[in-house]
Structure formats: structure tokens, C-alpha cells
């Protein structure tokens, strides 16, 4: 690429990094090497080159200034869990929740793919920091890639460039480690596509995909799969959770971390706008993060959390002025859209968006909105995305940059369950809460390849992301049980349906009514009914002013189906047994205790 000068010598004094980059260059044989500094000039040159070669399409400058559309290969539109491996010396350390490969075999397979793959391309070296640059909770990495699209996205999603390199050098010279990530788009051949993680080596190798979750290695690969392994070794938690702040009319702010599977409303909840009556009374919601949460016990015993990301990689379809006005406001400028539709005047479009008519679909084909829906399909891919800086969000909290993180008052688990699971319940204690998270089930969505709408167990929403054996992961969670000041644990289900197949709970901003009850429970100010599965609110324990709930809705949202839960807990026991003798006895005992209370 001619617009960016290629340095003759590596701009680093860290021998380990210098040697690794040289080794990768010898393997991949790029035409040029570019060390990314994260500057505005560098980004402008990258964008200009991608516009020139068609990688990025400039959107309407009047309606969406400094924004771009990227169309990925039609076979490269989501995470590929069946091609994602965890490579540990012993298969049991990866666990049945992961696809395992021996490290030597994994390296050999990947290096054969990487051999000469960057000929004719520039190799980009991306130093990045996950979390505030000066936070002791943050961790750093370097991604090497041949994709300028990845560079542009990593600049938004991480603290990328010179400051990150300075921290990597400082920590490296003191004996610290950084995560090494090697990525190439390869030929974008689905049959030559693999994502390999080597947690014991803090290494990632990804080949054959340009999709975010497979190619932006700071995201799921580092921030969850590798970081979960780091967290267990170092005594903290790396979780697939949003973080939001809730300020009540008395001026108290409580921070909540919540785990939901992809495309189940994390971003909507993280950017929640209170109902009108709540806004009038002085309630405020602020956003720390929408996807990933790193937590560590503080000196006072409370869990303190940072969002390791600097941006949002959100699902576009369904984002509207009703579902998430804050997200819609966030992405009006300086945004990269991926696989959305396009209007005739160059505006991004997706299903659920207010107004506009798509002229082209996500593949770039002309789109006839008047044709029958069955014949034309969606204009935007169901997993179409936007990448944007978190600081553009109207609800963004400056506390997202606080180096010590924010104290967590409550941890919330939830998924898509059309039946059985009530609107909200509270775990009895930490051990019960870990079981609630471990047993969490949800219907699959378009964020991953495979069938949509199938109920599967997704513990802590970490099934695709935990970098080691789930049994050991649950044991790590349980190890925090003696820490003073732990947050209360809750489970929510915004997706309960009635007999007519429609959702019973209005969701969106009204979810604050549930959060208000949680905060009151944390403070000891709210009522509940005790059941074997936990403490459920009565309908009158929530502020339902202005919410029209019929008899069926009240019965199912706040009800307890003992027979149904007896069957559910029998299934939970079978799930825990899948992990064999490594499954913590305390978790199995908790499941057995509750099943006995249910008469099982």
C-alpha cells in the first residue's frame, strides 16, 4: 500500500515481539510490513485504500458522515464454532465444551495454511490493549493480519497503537506476557478455515475468515477464550457480559453485569432508556460495555469490573428507534457497517429500521422490496453488524475509562426461553447463583452458524467462548464464594411467550422495572416469594404502572411451575454429569438439593 510508509526497522525494543514478527514474516512472506501506530493519518490512508479497492463503500456523507459499508464473502458471515479449537496439552483441560486438538498438531495444521499466504499483501502488526490503557485489570496483545479491514475495526474496538505498544514493551521488559494473535483472510475458503487457540501459550491463530468474531482477535478470541484462561490463573473472571450503571432518584449508582447469548438483547439492555415516568423521577442509565466484562475482587471484597473493549460490534437488524434509540444515535457517523442493505441514496438499511427502502441487499444485488418476502429474503444479513466507538453513545459513561473499574452490585444471567422460565428470580446464595449460570439455556440465534431457534445449554453465555473445561470454569467461579461483598445473582427471561406465541413482557425500557426490583433486593428493600428455584417477585413487588399485563402474562411471568422445573432440574443434572469427575461436587449437590425440594 503506497499511502503508508513501511518502516525499515521494527519500532520496538522488545526482542520477543521483534523475533515473533520476523518469524511470522518468514512464514507468510508478505510484500511489506506495517507497524500500526493508531494515528488518524494512518487510519485515513487505510480507509482511502480500502475505498479504492472496493473493500469499503462510502455511505451518504450527509446522513452518515465518515461511515462505510463492508460486504464480506457470502460464506463468511458469522462465528464458526465447529471450526474453532482449543489446543491444550491434555484434552481434558479443554473439556467437552470445546473442540480439542493437540498443540503440535494445531500449529502444524495452521502453519501449513499460513505458509506464503501473505504474498502480494501487506502484513499489519497491531499492538492493542484490552481495557483502559492505564488499568491494572487490562491485558495487552498484538495481532498480525493481512486485512486492512481488521486494522480499521481493531482501532475502534481496542486501545490500539503507540500507547499499547509502550505498555507491551514496559510489561515485556519486566517479564510480563502479551497475547500473540496471527490472522490471515487466506482464500476465504470455508474448507480452509480454522480458528485455533493455544491458551497455555497465550497464542491465537485464525485463518480463512474476515468476519469480526473470527478475525478481530482482540474480541472473542482474546477477551474471552484466552482471557478466561488468564483469569483462572490470575484470580479474576473474564465474562461474556454487558455492564450498565443505574442511578436512582437518590443519586445512588449501582453497576450491573449481565450475561446473555449473542443477539439476545445485550446491547439493548446496556443502552436502556428508562420509561418516561422513571426519567421524570430522576432515574438514569449509563453504559460501560455491551459485550465483555472482566471482574476482579477489590480491597473491599466487592467485584470491580472493566469493559476491555473500546467500541461496539453490534447486531444491526432489529436496531430501531423503538428497540434501541441510543444505539441508533451512536451509529449515525464514524461507523463501519458490515453486511447491511443499502438504499438508493447510499444509506445503510436493515430489517427493523425505521423508514427507508433498500435498493441493494447485503451481497450487493439489486433488491425488489415489492416482491413476495418468501422470494426475496432479507436485505440485510441477520447477523449484519456495526462497529463504532463506545464514546459516541449518548449513554456512554466516563467510568468506562476508570482504571480501577466499577463495583458490581448484581450479576444477571438470561437467555431466550419461550416457556417455563419466569421473568426474574434471585439465587439463594453464591453457590446457587453459579448453578443458575451454569444451567442457563437459550434458543440459538443467527450470530453463529447452524440451526436457529434450538434450545441449548449455554452456561454463563460462555459455551462458544470458554477457553478451558467448563467443570474447571465452574470450580473457578465457586472459588470466589468466601469473598466478602459479592454481588447478588439473578436470572431474567425477557422472551417468555403466551399461548398465542407473542411475547408477554414489553421489554426494552420496561426492563428497568425488573432492574429496580433487583437493586431493591440488593439493598434489602423488596419483597419476594421463596421457591425451590430461588426468590421470585410477586407482580405487586414490581412497579408496573403503565404496563398492561393480562392474567396469562401475570401468571406466567411471575408464576412457578413445579412439575416443569422438576423436569428441567433433572435435565440440568444430566448436563452436569456430561463433564464427569471434574464437575465440582458442590454444584452437583446444589442441583440434587433443589431437585429434591421439587419432589424429584
Task: Give the integer Cα–Cα distance in Å for 277 and 549.
Answer: 18
Residue recorded with cell 469490573: 305
Residue 348 neighbours by CB under 8 Å, 6+ apart: 59, 64, 67, 69, 316, 337, 340, 341, 342
Task: Give the integer Cα–Cα distance in Å for 291 and 269.
Answer: 11
Output the 3-class SS for 217-265. CHHHHHHHHHHHHHHHHHCCEEECEEEEEEECCCCCEEEEEEECCCCCC
Output the 3-class SS for 475-502. HHHHCCCCCCCCCEEEEECCCCECCCCC
Torsion angles phi and psi, residue 316, rounded to 5: -75, -50
Annotated binding-site residues for Mn(2+) read 220, 240, 291
Query: Is the separation of the CB atoms in 384 and 316 below 8 Å?
Result: yes
Residue recorded with cell 425488573: 514
Task: Give the integer Cα–Cα distance in Å for 530 and 465.
Answer: 33
Find the helix or strand (DSSP H, E) in which 94 lies. Answer: helix 91-94
Residue recorded with cell 439476545: 264
Output the 3-class SS for 579-592. CHHHCCHHHHHHHH
Strands (E), 225-368: 237-239, 241-247, 253-259, 284-289, 293-297, 303-306, 311-315, 336-338, 341-343, 348-349, 358-360
Annotated binding-site residues for substrate read 79, 211-213, 262, 383-385
CB atoms within 10 A of CB 96: 15
Report helix angle 40-53 to 148-157, nearest 10.
Answer: 140
Strands (E), 375-471: 385-389, 406-414, 424-426, 441-443, 455-457
Catalytic residues: 264
Annotated binding-site residues for GTP read 263-268, 385, 416, 508-511
Amino acid at each position: 500500500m503506497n499511502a503508508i510508509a513501511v518502516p525499515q526497522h521494527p519500532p520496538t525494543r522488545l526482542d520477543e515481539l521483534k523475533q515473533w514478527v520476523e518469524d511470522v514474516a518468514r512464514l507468510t512472506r508478505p510484500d511489506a510490513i506495517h507497524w500500526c501506530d493508531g494515528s488518524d493519518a494512518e487510519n485515513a490512508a487505510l480507509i482511502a485504500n480500502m475505498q479504492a479497492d472496493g473493500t469499503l463503500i462510502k455511505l451518504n456523507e450527509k446522513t452518515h458522515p465518515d461511515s462505510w459499508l463492508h460486504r464480506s464473502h457470502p460464506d463468511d458471515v458469522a462465528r464458526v464454532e465447529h471450526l474453532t479449537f482449543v489446543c491444550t496439552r491434555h484434552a481434558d483441560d479443554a473439556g467437552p465444551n470445546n473442540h480439542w486438538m493437540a498443540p503440535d498438531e494445531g500449529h502444524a495444521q495452521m502453519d501449513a495454511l499460513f505458509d506464503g499466504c501473505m504474498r502480494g499483501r501487506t502484513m499489519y502488526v497491531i499492538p492493542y490493549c484490552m481495557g483502559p490503557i492505564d488499568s491494572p485489570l487490562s491485558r495487552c496483545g498484538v495481532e498480525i493480519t493481512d486485512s486492512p479491514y481488521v486494522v480499521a475495526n481493531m482501532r475502534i474496538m481496542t486501545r490500539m497503537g503507540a500507547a499499547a505498544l509502550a505498555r507491551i514493551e514496559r510489561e515485556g521488559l519486566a517479564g510480563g506476557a502479551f497475547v500473540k494473535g496471527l490472522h490471515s483472510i487466506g482464500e476465504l475458503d470455508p474448507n480452509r478455515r480454522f480458528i485455533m487457540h493455544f491458551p497455555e501459550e497465550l497464542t491465537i491463530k485464525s485463518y480463512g475468515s474476515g468476519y469480526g468474531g473470527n478475525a478481530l482477535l482482540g474480541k472473542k478470541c482474546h477477551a474471552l477464550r484466552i482471557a478466561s484462561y488468564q483469569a483462572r490463573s490470575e484470580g479474576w473472571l473474564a465474562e461474556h457480559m454487558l455492564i450498565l450503571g443505574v442511578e436512582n432518584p437518590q443519586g445512588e449508582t449501582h453497576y450491573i453485569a449481565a450475561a446473555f447469548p449473542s443477539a439476545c438483547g445485550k446491547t439493548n439492555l446496556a443502552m436502556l432508556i428508562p420509561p418516561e415516568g422513571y426519567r421524570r423521577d430522576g432515574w438514569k442509565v449509563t453504559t460501560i460495555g455491551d459485550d465483555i466484562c472482566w471482574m476482579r475482587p477489590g480491597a473491599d471484597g466487592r467485584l470491580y469490573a472493566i469493559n476491555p473493549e473500546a467500541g461496539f460490534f453490534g447486531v444491526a437488524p432489529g436496531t430501531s428507534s423503538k428497540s434501541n434509540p441510543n444505539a441508533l444515535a451512536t451509529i449515525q457517523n464514524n461507523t463501519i457497517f458490515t453486511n447491511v442493505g443499502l438504499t438508493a441514496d447510499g444509506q445503510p438499511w436493515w430489517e427493523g429500521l425505521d423508514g427507508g427502502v433498500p435498493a441493494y441487499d447485503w451481497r450487493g444485488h439489486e433488491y425488489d422490496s415489492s416482491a413476495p418476502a418468501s422470494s426475496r429474503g432479507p436485505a440485510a444479513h441477520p447477523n449484519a453488524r456495526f462497529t463504532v466507538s463506545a464514546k459516541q453513545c449518548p449513554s456512554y459513561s466516563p467510568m468506562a475509562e476508570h482504571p480501577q473499574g466499577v463495583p458490581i452490585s448484581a450479576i444477571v444471567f438470561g437467555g431466550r426461553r419461550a416457556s417455563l422460565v419466569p421473568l426474574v428470580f434471585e439465587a439463594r446464595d453464591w453457590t446457587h447463583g453459579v448453578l443458575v449460570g451454569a444451567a442457563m439455556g437459550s434458543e440459538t440465534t443467527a450470530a453463529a452458524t447452524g440451526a436457529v431457534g434450538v434450545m441449548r445449554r449455554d452456561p454463563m453465555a460462555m459455551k462458544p467462548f470458554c477457553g478451558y473445561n467448563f467443570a474447571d470454569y465452574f470450580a473457578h467461579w465457586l472459588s470466589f464464594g468466601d469473598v466478602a461483598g459479592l454481588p447478588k445473582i439473578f436470572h431474567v427471561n425477557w422472551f417468555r411467550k403466551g399461548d398465542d406465541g407473542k411475547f408477554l413482557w414489553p421489554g426494552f425500557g420496561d426492563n428497568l422495572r425488573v432492574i429496580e426490583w433487583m437493586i431493591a433486593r440488593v439493598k434489602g428493600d423488596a419483597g419476594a416469594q421463596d421457591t425451590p428455584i430461588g426468590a421470585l417477585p410477586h407482580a405487586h413487588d414490581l412497579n408496573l404502572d403503565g404496563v398492561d399485563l393480562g392474567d396469562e402474562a401475570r401468571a406466567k411471568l411471575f408464576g412457578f411451575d413445579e412439575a416443569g422445573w422438576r423436569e428441567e432440574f433433572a435435565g440440568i443434572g444430566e448436563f452436569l454429569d456430561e463433564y464427569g469427575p471434574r464437575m465440582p461436587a458442590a454444584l452437583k449437590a446444589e442441583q440434587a438439593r433443589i431437585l429434591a425440594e421439587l419432589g424429584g
